[in-house]
Chain A
Amino acid sequence: MTAIQINSVEKSYKGFKALKGVSLTIEQGEFFGLLGPNGAGKTTLISTIAGLIRPDVGSVQIHGHDVVTDFREARRKLGVVPQELVFDPFFTVRETLRLQSGYFGIKNNDKWIDEVMENLDLTSKADVNMRALSGGMKRRVLVAQALVHKPPVIVLDEPTAGVDVELRQTLWKFISRLNREGGHTVVLTTHYLEEAQAMCQRVAMLKSGQVVALDTMSALLRRVSGSQLIVHLKSGDLPQDLRHLVSHDEHDSGNGSGNKYSLRVNDYAEVEPILSRLRESGAVIDEMQLQQADLEDIFLQIMDKGAL
């Protein structure tokens, strides 16, 4: 089942094109990452999904319900954690969550509210006014507000920006559980790429309002191979026919007994032929390490090139 369908969405602000024909399909149950530098259009796209921004061209559907023409059904399916740390200073945490349940048409929701508060370590703050909470606690309440109606689709716009490690762990534990056990779709934007790499099954990268990469995390990590085979030679030298693989070499600054080379490899299968060629040439390997590319390498490469 398709959770979110985004069709050729364009949006301009006073001549500035924030989104230039973005199309995406996110399936139910996916943990999806939306990445990109500041100003790439991530928040505009999320606001369009949430119905806070209306696209100039194109459409967005949540579970088949258009976010403009069939907004009530679409919004019932969606829980959004906004990026800004907003709160209503008139109310306590529990009042805030009860009110949010009511806006979604849910009465007597205290059992679920208590569970959400417990999972986000908010129980001790239930009767505290929102004004008295720290930034991290307010962020937790925002997450709780997005979850009060048990939405099948959860969108988190930089939920861990400026929050401590404890909240990140608490939050990801709970969100992962919702995704894994409850089958909730999770769409995440974050600047912490290691978070995205750890959590997301599939990723879209946005640059200047366009999708410049869209793939599963594993395929993306494979496709943009930045894997490095680092060899430290005790004796001998790198054969000429392997030198085109060198991405970076550094001479041992220690006792001058050997050379260290970083060789670019696209696949694990390429490792053995390299080692075999080194043996044939008489080189002796002292140390060896296979370093895999991470999402940050990929992100930087894609943002440099513009597209894959």
Chain B
Amino acid sequence: MSVVSVGFRTLFYKEMLRFWKVATQTIAAPILTAMLYLLIFGHVLEGRVEVYPGVSYTAFLVPGLVMMSVLQNAFANSSSSLIQSKITGNLVFILLPPLSHWEILLAYVAASVVRGLAVGAGVFAITAWFAHLSFAAPLWIIVFAIMGAAILGTLGVIAGIWADKFDQLAAFQNFLIMPATFLAGVFYSIHSLPAFWQAVSHFNPFFYMIDGFRHGFFGQSDISPWTSLAIVSAFFAVLAAVAINLLRGGYKLRH
């Protein structure tokens, strides 16, 4: 199987076109939301909280908000595309052609990564005006942004396949993705939590994505970025295996 096959490229292009045609909703709206978070939390907590020595709270917040936007939009892209196609019935256009399971998965995930990174870049471009940021290790920024988006894109594929209705998908998003993102240290360092919750945070894979991403900016993090990368990679591998098995088995797609 070639990942650059015409089938893969077409599905990837279609997914890109799909979100680009409604860019106000898929790109501009999340950027505005992230900016509001920064203005409110940054204004309220600036000067009261110092998470890392010499790093202002607003500066600390920006990478977290960028990564949160990347993750949430990557998830939204693949999951909403799949559920819409399932409900309207046009998923049949993907199911009838000779697309391999890998081509389908990778196309959805790649488009999710692009949307996640586009929103993340937009959030960064706007919020960076409000804080003085450094780029201690830019490669980590890129690696964790791509990995995080790929993971959430894959999770979106799984959720999109599993959900039969929009409210099931909303439940997945509200009860799993949102809490996992918010409790992963977007607004705080886990070192500021009680010991028990610090321990719990270590079971949250989202924490490693955000912590590793933030390391790229400040050169300091709660966990070594290498450890985070290993955990994030393992998590991605598990999710990709689950997604590919769902596609291969035709779960809720081929009856």
Which positions in A face B, CB cutoff 8 Å?
13, 47, 50-54, 71-76, 78, 80, 82, 84, 86-91, 95, 99-107, 145, 149
* In the A-B complex, the 7 residue pairs with the closest CB atoms: A102-B10, A103-B97, A86-B89, A72-B98, A75-B98, A105-B6, A88-B90
Give every chain A residue within 8 A of B22 (Cβ-Cβ).
90
CB within 8 Å of A: which of B46-60?
Answer: none
| Complex Cα–Cα for A128 and B11 (A) | 21
Question: A103, B18: Cβ atoms under 8 Å?
Answer: no
Q: How far is the CA of A74 from the CA of B10 in the complex (A)?
A: 20
**Do B98 and A105 touch across chains, with their CB atoms under 8 A apart?**
yes
| Interface contacts beyond A52-B92, A99-B13, A99-B14: sample of 17 additional A-B pairs, CB < 8 Å, sorted by A | A52-B254, A75-B98, A80-B96, A82-B92, A86-B89, A86-B90, A86-B92, A87-B88, A88-B85, A88-B93, A90-B21, A102-B7, A102-B9, A102-B10, A102-B14, A103-B7, A105-B7
Please report the number of residue pairs spanning A and B whose Cβ atoms sit closer than 8 angstroms: 82
Interface footprint category on B: 20 to 34
**Contact call B13/A102, Cβ cutoff below 8 A:** yes
**Partner of A71 from B7, B10, B11, B98 at Cβ < 8 Å:** B98
**In the complex, which of the residues B90, B97, B255 has the most CB atoms of chain A within 10 Å of its own CB atom?**
B97
Task: Compute how far the CA of A179 lies from the CA of B63 in the bound complex, rounded to whole angstroms.
Answer: 61
Distance of A89 Cα from B93 Cα, bound (Å): 13
List of A residues within 8 angstroms of B17 by Cβ: 90-91, 95
Give the chain B neighbours of A74 by CB distance below 8 A.
Answer: 98
Contact of A100 among B88, B97, B250 (CB under 8 A): B97
Given contacts A52-B254, A73-B98, A99-B10, contact A90 B18 (CB under 8 A): yes
Q: Are B254 and A103 in contact (CB under 8 A)?
A: no
Complex: how many Å from CA A78 to CA B97?
Answer: 9
For residue B241, CB closer than 8 A to chain A, the reply is no
Question: Which chain A residues border B85 with CB–CB below 8 Å?
Answer: 88
* Residue contact B93 to A104, C-beta cutoff 8 Å: no
Query: A51 near B254 (CB under 8 angstroms)?
Result: yes
Residues of B within 8 A of A53 (CB): 254-255
Cα–Cα, bound, A95→B21 (Å): 13
Contact A52 B6 (CB under 8 A): no
Beta-carbon contact of A105 and B5 below 8 Å: yes
**Chain A CB within 8 A of B220 CB:** no
24 A-B pairs within 8 Å (CB atoms) are namely A13-B255, A50-B96, A52-B96, A53-B255, A54-B254, A72-B100, A75-B97, A76-B98, A84-B89, A88-B88, A88-B90, A89-B88, A91-B14, A99-B10, A100-B93, A101-B10, A102-B7, A102-B10, A103-B93, A103-B98, A105-B98, A106-B6, A107-B6, A149-B97
B88 near A52 with CB under 8 A, answer no
